[in-house]
Structure 1
Amino acid sequence: MVNKQYDAAILGCGVLGLTIAQELTQKGLKVALVGKDLPEDIHSTGFASPWAGASFHSFATNSAEQRRDTHTFKEFERLAREIPELCERRPYRYFRREKDVGEDPWWADLMFDYRHLKTSEIPAPFAQGVTFEAYTLNTPLYLQHLGNWLRSHNVPIIRERVSSLNEMYDLPSIGKVNLVINASGLGARSLIGVEDSLVHPAKGQTILVEAPDVKTCMGVEGKHPIPNQSVYIIPRPGPANHVILGGCYIKDDWSTNINKDVADQILKDCYEVCPDLDNKNGKGGIEDIKIVSHNVGLRPAREGGLRCELEHRFIGDNEKNALLPAKGKGNGGKRKVGVVHAYGIGGAGYQSSLGIAKEVSGLVDQWLEGDGKGNRKAKL
């Protein structure tokens, strides 16, 4: 018999959906998760979460984004202490070719031991550099950790594909709910009832390598001479000695095919920054890098950034949209429902995840306290 007492149903089992589910469960709410890709599907290209680096290198541009990243950073401190194979504090070094680097970023005071590198610490051909300590995640293991935690707290994670937002309010596997959390990522572009044309993919390509001697995150700041290309090196926590090399950011590219030219450039750029990738103390060459896999993920980006807001809406059997599946038209009469949207984070999903979950939790409180009454819209 289906339990009909869920406070909310969450659409999307990427890092945002899972983190939101954990946040709401910890505060005593009863939720269920639905997605076509689940946390254990670490080889699926259907969602971006398994393919992220993931380092903590904020590119927040406004106070809301900075608030989310700051909250997540502080929470990662606890995670690194409790489960170091998932999250590890480590040194970072970022270089620039330009001599004039301008002002320090907003997050300089947030990081541990942020400072400018001495000239003797900067390898050729770079002119400037900074160092600090922050966190990295083992993203496939972290997704499975979140999934296991939720299941151990009796949160169902259901594999189901839905084509309309309305379907989420009365799924046979969950029962009737009046609140949905829309963490559908790229799916928000085509999900009937949302159809957000601002949502678009930002293709990323990386290479997973084995490099036991590489324990420092590295990267190159500033504009790359090749459009859409960037340089970053992210050692993953855990005993496998895996390191992520990247990368690229190609807007509106839906292809999940490996681009050989991009891969060649990644190897060239990363080896220039970190010769120790060759496992021969820098005395070998690019050909000595031990490649584990080539990876492609589609970041769920959105023009204008994350959509995080509470929307009041109506569903019911008077629905006129001919495109809606029968189960999305409702069979219990017209009723007022709510949806908290949480999608469009692009490449900042992990480093913003806990901050976003906190904001979503506040919007859920607003819905529950108001019992869905009124037609106001609250936006963060």
Structure 2
Amino acid sequence: MSSASKSHVPLVILGAGVIGLTIAYLAACDSDVVFDITIIARDMPGDWGSQAWGANWSPMPLGATDERVRRWEKTTFDRLWEMAPSGLVKRLPSRMFSETDEILSSLWWKDLVRDFRLLSDSEIPTPYKVGITFNTVCVNPWEYLSWFRSELESRGVTFRRQYVTSLDEVKHFVGKNGLLVNATSLGSRSLIGVEDTALFPIRGQSIIVESNNLQEFISARSGANLSEHVTSIIPRPGLIQTNTALLNGTYQIGNWDTSLDMFGCERDI
């Protein structure tokens, strides 16, 4: 059946982050259904303020207990690994250090990444107790999301900048037979019609620097809890922004503060 003879299904996606754009891309490439896709978001690809993160692949704790999440993680990792020749994804040798051995209880993902192994005592610097190494992947959000937008627009996807506070505001875009996908992430907490109060922020504070020869992701965790204090160095790929890395030293669960803490930068990074 040709696309001209297929019925068109309205698909509205709230949110233009990596999840929203990935959903739109998969829908736009679907050979069985013709979607009329509209992406509605406050922040768009190319907006600097919301895209100054890593972003390297890291395992989600839920993958240890939820088989569905584990499959999603494997599919995502394998696809990103395959995209490395495009220049949009970087394969990263990685080392992670911890002051406690708690990290050893959460290695459900060791067969998902490439070349995983425990580091020997001689490879672990003071004051850390445990170390692991593996190969993961990283993207440059500014370039990766902008590439997504270009690909989607070439497939007829419409982007609409709008700050949505309630699902009722987008009903007329969806219509009677359309589909609505919520990909607003933390915004779902206050989005009327969703109001998912189980969501919470994790405050990060990062800086992007030039790095001509840095090719390894390094993460060091201190404190009794692994999420208490995480310092990381993440080299990023780039077709336009070449030779950059992201430095991060803040991982504050439940902190809504978005202001810059200069003292925190000096202390953590």
Name the residue aligned to 1:69. 73
Counterparts of 1:10-21 in structure 2 under 5 Å?
10-21=13-24
How far apart, CA to CA, are the structure 1 residues paired with 2:254 and 2:101?
A: 33
Counterpart residue number, 1:285: none
Q: Contact (CA 8 Å) 1:169, 1:179: kept in 2 or not?
A: no
Distance 1:161 1:102 in 2: 42
Contact 1:60 1:66 in 2 (8 A): no
Residues 315-370 of structure 1: per-residue CA shift (max 9 Å, x gap): xxxxxxxxxxxxxxxxxxxxxxxxxxxxxxxxxxxxxxxxxxxxxxxxxxxxxxxx
Deviation digits for residues 176-199 of structure 1, max 9, x if unmatched? 653211112222222222222223
> Mind listing any 5+ residue stretches in structure 1 that lack a counterpart?
268-380
Identity %: 33
8 Å Cα contact 2:14-2:184 kept in structure 1:
yes
Counterpart position of 1:88 = 90
Counterpart residue type for residue 254 of structure 2: D
Correspondence 1:226-375 to 2 at 5 A? 228-238=228-238, 240-267=242-269
Tell me if the contact between 2:98 and 2:131 (Cα under 8 Å) persists in the aligned partners.
Answer: yes
TM-score, normalising length: structure 1 = 0.61
Structure-1 separation of matches of 2:255 and 2:60: 22
Aligned counterpart in structure 1 of residue 142 of structure 2, from 116, 125, 140: 140
Question: Are residues 123 and 213 of structure 1, via their aligned partners in 2, closer, same or farther at CA, if it must alter by over 3 Å?
Answer: farther
What one-letter code is carried by the residue in structure 2 that aligns with 1:14? Answer: G
Measure the CA separation in 1 of the matches of 2:110 and 2:148: 29
Q: Contact 2:212–2:243 at 8 Å: present in 1 too? A: yes
Structure 2 residue corresponding to 1:44, chosen from 49, 52, 62: 49
| Structure 2: runs of 5+ lacking an equivalent | 1-6
User: Shift of residue 247 of structure 1?
Assistant: 2.7
Change over 3 Å in CA distance of 1:222–1:263 after alignment to 2 = closer
Greater C-alpha Rg = 1
> Is 1:97 equivalent to 2:99 in the alignment?
yes
**TM (normalized to structure 2)?**
0.85
CA distance in 1, matches of 2:256, 2:171: 30
| Aligned-pair CA distance for 1:129 | 1.5
Task: Report if the CA contact (8 A) 1:96-1:128 is conserved.
Answer: yes
3-state SS of paired residue (1:92): strand
2:39 aligned partner? 33
CA distance in 2, matches of 1:227, 1:146: 31
C-alpha RMSD of matched pairs (Å): 2.5
Match of 1:106 among 99, 105, 108: 108
Aligned length: 255
Cα 1:126–1:196 shift into 2, 3 Å: closer
Pair 1:101–1:76, CA change in 2 (3 A): closer
Q: 1:18 to 1:223 in 2, by over 3 A?
A: same
The one-letter code of the counterpart of 2:83 is L
Q: Deviations over 1:247-280 (max 9, x none)?
A: 322233322111123211222xxxxxxxxxxxxx
Contact 2:21 2:148 in 1 (8 A): yes
Deviations 1:184-222 (A, max 9, x none): 222222222222222332221112122223210011245
Is residue 187 of structure 2 the alignment partner of residue 191 of structure 1?
no
| Partner SS for 2:24 | helix
1:22 to 7, 20, 25: 25
What is the deviation of 1:102? 4.1
In structure 2, the partner of 1:155 is: 157
**Equivalent residues of 1:228, 1:250 under 8 A apart:** yes
Asked if structure 2 preserves the Cα contact closer than 8 Å seen for 1:14 and 1:39, the reply is: yes
